[in-house]
Structure 1
Amino acid sequence: MSQPKFRHSLLALAIASVVSFPAYAQAQDEQEQQAEENGKLERIEVTARRKTESLQEVPVSVSSFGAGDLEQLGVEDITELQQRIPNATIQVSRGTNSTLTAYIRGVGQQDPLWGFEPGVGVYIDDVYIARPQGAVLEVFDLERIEVLRGPQGTLYGKNTIGGALKYVTKELTGYNELSLQGTVGSYNQRDIKISGQTALTDNFFVGGAVASLQRDGFGEYVNTGDENYNKDLLTYRLSAKWLLSDTMDLKFSYDKTEDESNSKGAHRLLTSSVTGQEPYEDVYDSNTAMPVDNLVETEGASLVFNWDINAEWDFKSVTASREGYTDTNIDFNATGEPIFMVPAIYEDEQFTQEFQLSYTNNYNFDFVGGVYYYDGEACGVFGTVLPMYLAAFGGVTVDNGGCVQTESLAVYGQGNYRFNDDLTLTIGGRYTSDEKEADVFRYTYLGVHYINRAGLDTPYDPNEVIDTFGQPFSVNSNFNSQGDWSRFSPHVALNYDLSDDVMIYGSYSNGFKSGGVDMRGDKSLNPTIDEPYDPEIVDTFEIGMKSELLDGRMRLNSAIFYSDYQDMQVTVQRVVESGISSQVLNAGESTVKGFEVETVFAATDTLNFTAMLGYIDAEFDSVVYEEPATGETTDVTDAWSFQNTPELTYNLGMNKTFEMESGQVVWSANYAFRDDTQMFEAPSPLDQESYGLLNTSVVWYSVNGQWNVGLHAKNLTDEEYRVGGYNFGPTFGDDAVVAYYGDPRTFSLSVGYKF
């Protein structure tokens, strides 16, 4: 085994990372070795356009993060990428442990209710993940993570109008590999990760990985003694690859994640008018009147067939299925008194099939196109338990549930034509046809009822709910709704090489997020709630530059973008006598514009600096909606602002390597800043002021490359920062204004060994 060498390119983090740091490899091709000897940045490869290309040759805003780089920094899950990507919000959703909230350039989806579509598409390898539950993916057994910014409607389809996040797992090579890593840290963190692969025959490879991630809570439920913000997660992945011939291979993959962390308790921002409880000094402490049991399970399987037909044509088939289950409790009041409680169950399943054909003539033209089919069902039920309201009747319970069935078919294609060595034209398009059918029920019962998990064969059958709770006092909703939409999403780009080291490009991209039905709809309050809401549409124009300067020691990439955002879907919830009234608005017209700059500079052979800057100006041009109860129109154009979209984001990082007889020590540090952030469209007490996070890592790598020991410190200044919350104001006799927070200061020590 050769001695590891420090890669000055810092692989993925050379693009948008907060720090740049080393990657180690047992073998490097001649190009990479020459780059290192000359002190230059190495080539970074991405698959943003469904083929392998150099990052510097792709006229798309994309960031790529290598597995070794993320592990070196101690990155635990994909939400930590938020610090490293301009104009992005990637974090755990309010009141959950593993549900993802993702926004890029002002576009996303905060509400994780079944039936709502994400605005940033998440992919594991080539498989689209339709639901945000369980989408906070852990960093293990991966090759890289790519994040594409801006609409990706042509190659990645609907629901990627903000961008796409691609989690690429480690490829099976047939080599004998085994890696072990153990981590201990603050709050009794104790993680174990094991991965490996081997060849059973000359043409049949198998691999697997498992991770057990445990941590005590950052706080506690004071009134019960249970842990709050703890972690109890097990995830594993199995794969097999069969080389059918020199031109064909078949790969099977299976993954499963089980998260049994406690439900997450919120921090009250106001003193309770019912109990007199004041906000706790520790923002991670809470109270609850509900059980803290919580379960999120996700699993999926895929079968990928590759066929190199000849030197010019390639064929790929991706067949996949996934399913998820969530059983959770949210205490919106967080006082310990049963005032405003919501137990909930979500279930989903999906089947996808993609056929893809690619062509290249090695001269001036290449093309990729295909057909994509999606069939999915998302179901759920939640109860709003209000025992202090209508006390004479022993309380009130409102049960809301149903299913939404989605079927989608798309045809797409994109080609690149090179007029000469310097000028390339890209033209693509995707036609998508979407059909949805939803069943929604909403019943009000006198008395306090909890969802009987054991008594319901499915969590969404209204007949079984009635059998369990008896006849409802009021039927607020019980309707079926159907909708269908079709859309052609074009893409055009022109890129020109000013020199061997500088490329400029201009592009236009269109994308849409599917329409749907409000699964919280209360027809007794809004007679038209059964009518589907429309899709969102985004048209984005972008001008960018990708360059390598100073004889290959500096990489500087930048982009300016302008987006016309139409029919933005906004969920508005109001407090009414019987609970919470919901309405999904297509909120008029919006304009989003801004710029992004990412750079890495190898100052010396052992010292590197990185910087990232993102600026965004997102404004509503017109938002006028009708009040269901009165029919009056309300203009909130000047009152609303974009949620989860800070105007300024930046980070600065450095990386220094020290040579030792025993190996190498790499010290890295970074500071990541986020501007003021509004949690919802309307201003609220939850809004987060600007803050910055300071992180540092010191990692030792042995001479033979087998051992590594890393010490990681995150949020060194112990900043308190909100990542979500609920703002219902005076609700059922008390103020339900509660917040959820990002991680406090933590330290961890990791030891890894590779056979």
Structure 2
Amino acid sequence: AAFTHWNLDINEKWGLTAGLRYSRDKKNGAMLRNAFTAAPNAVFRVLTAQPGPEFDDNYSEDAFSGSLSAQYHYSDRVMAYASYSRGYKSGGVNIDNSGAGTNLNNPEEVPGAIPEDPTYRAEYLDGYEIGLKSEYLGGRARTNLAVFYNDITDLQLAQFQGTKFTVDNAPEATVYGLELENQLLLNETFALNFDLTHLAEARFGNDPVLGILADREFAMAPEFSANLALDFERPLASNLNLFGRVGMVFNSDIYSNTSNNLKVSSQSEYAANIGVRSDSANWALTAWCQNCTDNRYASVHFDSPLQSGDYNAYVSYPRTYGLTLRGNF
């Protein structure tokens, strides 16, 4: 790759930022099977899952990506901006056992069968964003607001389908919403932080090639997510400070599997820590707790191997707590 990045101050109010990148990707992927039972009643053969065709394939891509943004400074404390970015994610070769299809695509299993293409295409994103960054109350408060719109082409979609891993391209997808970041210094001891993300849309295009995913929302993409935290720090003695944090993370309900037919309801988790640090001796001792209320829920679902219509799940981490001693030297 080769890239360049430029910052230009036009005058005291206006600024421009521009970047350009050229990428060339070359990849090789192969699946060669040393042995597979010849028994006609082998489980994976009966399930029309394996042995898939062997392959040795190449992928290459040349692409340009980059960004362009303009900033306007209303004052030393307030800045507005607008930006466009072109994102690129290289394609590749799916080296799963079924990357070129199942045994029904294997000419050695079914005479005349045609192997599938194990490669997947590059993903491109055109992103547009306008925003405002501001400080006020004498520099004690900060608010950043951004509204964004992302148009995605050939979105790479990885799925586990019980007996195989697939990587496909969704021809189009759209994501747009807003992000809000706030920080307020309440006094010399306490600081309040609040962040909010609203995904008004995170959806696949309505293309028949996507099957049940056509016009559906993304998995793992809550409409609302938020963080609320209270930080504090105050001196205990010379070069010895007491510090701590109490926080909450909230996510609204989500599709929890890549087929988008299972959901997890909205969840909140709480975390806290308290400790002492010595700035002069470069050490800190912290007592902490994660998921303090021991909220247990299925965070991700996936197809159960060899059991059509059945699902497994990864469960959220339980309540954990402990002590951490950290030193710098």
* Match 1:739 to one of 308, 313, 319: 313
Q: Which residue of 2 aligns with 1:550?
A: 137
**Contact 2:100-2:118 within 8 A present in 1 as well:** no
Instruction: State the shift of 1:649 in Å.
Output: 0.8
Report the Cα distance in structure 1 between the residues aligned to 2:249 and 2:326, rounded to whole angstroms.
27
SS in 2 for 1:525: helix
Compared with structure 1, are the counterparts of its residues 694 and 444 closer, same or farther at alpha carbon in structure 2 (3 Å cutoff)?
A: same
SS in 2 for 1:445: coil
The equivalences for 1:176-191 within 5 A come to: none
Report the Cα distance in structure 2 between the residues aligned to 1:703 and 1:492, rounded to whole angstroms.
41
Instruction: State the shift of 1:742 in Å.
Output: 2.8
**Contact 1:647-1:675 within 8 A present in 2 as well:** yes
Q: Which residue of 1 aligns with 2:104?
A: 525
Deviations 1:216-240 (A, max 9, x none): xxxxxxxxxxxxxxxxxxxxxxxxx
Instruction: State the shift of 1:705 in Å.
Output: 4.4
Report the Cα distance in structure 2 between the residues aligned to 1:543 and 1:683, rounded to whole angstroms.
31
Q: Which residue of 2 aligns with 1:586?
A: 169
Report the Cα distance in structure 1 between the residues aligned to 2:158 and 2:283, rounded to whole angstroms.
50
Question: Do structure 1's residue 571 and structure 2's residue 143 form an aligned pair?
Answer: no
The equivalences for 1:665-676 within 5 A come to: 665-676=242-253
Q: What is the number of residues matched between the two proteins?
A: 305
Instruction: State the shift of 1:701 in Å.
Output: 2.8
Report the Cα distance in structure 1 between the residues aligned to 2:289 and 2:204, rounded to whole angstroms.
39
Question: Do structure 1's residue 726 and structure 2's residue 302 form an aligned pair?
Answer: yes
Report the Cα distance in structure 1 between the residues aligned to 2:283 and 2:250, rounded to whole angstroms.
33
Report the Cα distance in structure 2 between the residues aligned to 1:703 and 1:695, rounded to whole angstroms.
25
* Match 2:188 to one of 605, 610, 622: 605
The equivalences for 1:195-214 within 5 A come to: none
Q: Which has the higher strand share?
A: 2
Deviations 1:605-652 (A, max 9, x none): 1121111111112011223228xxxxxxx46414x3212211111011
Report the Cα distance in structure 2 between the residues aligned to 1:496 and 1:655, rounded to whole angstroms.
32
Q: Which residue of 1 aligns with 2:16?
A: 425
Letter in 2 for 1:544: G
**Contact 1:588-1:624 within 8 A present in 2 as well:** no
Q: Which residue of 2 aligns with 1:53?
A: none
**Contact 1:587-1:624 within 8 A present in 2 as well:** no
SS in 1 for 2:85: strand
Letter in 2 for 1:669: V
Letter in 2 for 1:413: T
Instruction: State the shift of 1:753 in Å.
Output: 4.9
Deviations 1:392-447 (A, max 9, x none): xxxxxxxxxxxxxxxxxx22112122111221112221111222222223564258
Question: Do structure 1's residue 621 and structure 2's residue 210 form an aligned pair?
Answer: no
Report the Cα distance in structure 1 between the residues aligned to 2:275 and 2:16, rounded to whole angstroms.
44
Letter in 2 for 1:621: G
Letter in 1 for 2:126: D
Compared with structure 1, are the counterparts of its residues 518 and 602 closer, same or farther at alpha carbon in structure 2 (3 Å cutoff)?
A: same
Compared with structure 1, are the counterparts of its residues 426 and 752 closer, same or farther at alpha carbon in structure 2 (3 Å cutoff)?
A: closer
Instruction: State the shift of 1:530 in Å.
Output: 2.7
Compared with structure 1, are the counterparts of its residues 414 and 754 closer, same or farther at alpha carbon in structure 2 (3 Å cutoff)?
A: closer
Report the Cα distance in structure 2 between the residues aligned to 1:550 and 1:733, rounded to whole angstroms.
60
Report the Cα distance in structure 2 between the residues aligned to 1:582 and 1:668, rounded to whole angstroms.
41
Instruction: State the shift of 1:484 in Å.
Output: 1.7
Q: Which residue of 1 aligns with 2:91?
A: 515
Report the Cα distance in structure 2 between the residues aligned to 1:429 and 1:475, rounded to whole angstroms.
44
**Contact 2:53-2:115 within 8 A present in 1 as well:** no
* Match 2:61 to one of 452, 469, 485: 485
Q: Which residue of 2 aligns with 1:342?
A: none
Unpaired segments of 5 or more residues in structure 2? 40-49, 106-113
Letter in 1 for 2:70: L
Report the Cα distance in structure 2 between the residues aligned to 1:498 and 1:554, rounded to whole angstroms.
17
Question: Do structure 1's residue 441 and structure 2's residue 8 form an aligned pair?
Answer: no
- Bigger relative CO (Cα 8 Å, ≥ 6 apart): 1
Q: Which residue of 2 aligns with 1:596?
A: 179
Report the Cα distance in structure 1 between the residues aligned to 2:125 and 2:56, rounded to whole angstroms.
29
**Contact 1:522-1:581 within 8 A present in 2 as well:** no
Instruction: State the shift of 1:517 in Å.
Output: 2.0
Compared with structure 1, are the counterparts of its residues 500 and 481 closer, same or farther at alpha carbon in structure 2 (3 Å cutoff)?
A: same
Compared with structure 1, are the counterparts of its residues 534 and 734 closer, same or farther at alpha carbon in structure 2 (3 Å cutoff)?
A: closer
Instruction: State the shift of 1:587 in Å.
Output: 1.2
**Contact 2:173-2:203 within 8 A present in 1 as well:** yes
* Match 2:260 to one of 679, 683, 695: 683
Instruction: State the shift of 1:664 in Å.
Output: 2.7
Report the Cα distance in structure 2 between the residues aligned to 1:548 and 1:531, rounded to whole angstroms.
51
SS in 1 for 2:218: coil
Deviations 1:279-330 (A, max 9, x none): xxxxxxxxxxxxxxxxxxxxxxxxxxxxxxxxxxxxxxxxxxxxxxxxxxxx
Instruction: State the shift of 1:544 in Å.
Output: 1.3
Report the Cα distance in structure 1 between the residues aligned to 2:64 and 2:28, rounded to whole angstroms.
22
Q: Which residue of 1 aligns with 2:73?
A: 497
Deviations 1:655-682 (A, max 9, x none): 2334434733223211111111222342
**Contact 1:665-1:700 within 8 A present in 2 as well:** yes
**Contact 1:568-1:589 within 8 A present in 2 as well:** yes
Instruction: State the shift of 1:752 in Å.
Output: 4.1
Report the Cα distance in structure 1 between the residues aligned to 2:66 and 2:237, rounded to whole angstroms.
57
Report the Cα distance in structure 1 between the residues aligned to 2:195 and 2:266, rounded to whole angstroms.
17
When the two chains are superposed, the root-mean-square deviation of aligned CA atoms in Å is 2.5
Q: Which residue of 1 aligns with 2:147?
A: 560
Letter in 1 for 2:58: Q
Q: Percent identity?
A: 29
SS in 2 for 1:683: coil
SS in 2 for 1:622: coil
Letter in 2 for 1:673: F
Report the Cα distance in structure 2 between the residues aligned to 1:607 and 1:572, rounded to whole angstroms.
45
The equivalences for 1:77-156 within 5 A come to: none
Letter in 2 for 1:611: F
Letter in 2 for 1:625: V
Instruction: State the shift of 1:560 in Å.
Output: 0.8
Letter in 1 for 2:131: G
Instruction: State the shift of 1:522 in Å.
Output: 4.1
